[in-house]
């Protein structure tokens, strides 16, 4: 009996470039793609948008995408 979603047939793709994943850098294909992802996290390329107000004294981040 076979199923449409057989885990043995699914090949993981790199989260950045979609090439096949390398076990040493999972979920990425290379150190370069892992570094690209890390840079996005460190430079606020990835953010969770919220309606919460910033704490007093905390700088307000500028949303470059919506504020020309």
For residue 18 the two structure tokens come to: 């979609």
Say how many Å lie between the first and final Cα of the chain, rounded: 57
Please check the confidence at residue 7 and state whether its pLDDT lies above 60: no
pLDDT digits (tens, 9 = 90+) for 23-36: 999 999 999 999 99
- Reduce the DSSP state of residue 45 to 3 states and report it: coil
Q: For residue 55, what pLDDT is reported?
A: 80
Task: Specify the pTM.
Answer: 0.57
Question: How is the chain split into domains, by residue range?
Answer: 11-42
Q: For residue 65, what pLDDT is reported?
A: 56
pLDDT digits (tens, 9 = 90+) for 56-66: 887 776 665 55
Q: What is the mean pLDDT of the chain?
A: 80
How far apart, in whole angstroms, are the C-alpha atoms of residue 33 and residue 19? 10
For residue 41 the two structure tokens come to: 């996290």
């Amino acid at each position: 009996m076979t199923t449409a979603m057989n885990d043995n047939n699914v090949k993981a793709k790199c989260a950045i470039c979609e090439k096949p994943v390398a076990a040493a850098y999972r979920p990425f294909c290379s150190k370069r793609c892992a570094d690209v992802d890390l840079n996005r996290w460190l430079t606020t390329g990835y953010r969770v948008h919220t309606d919460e107000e910033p704490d007093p004294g905390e700088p307000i981040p500028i949303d470059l995408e919506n504020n020309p």
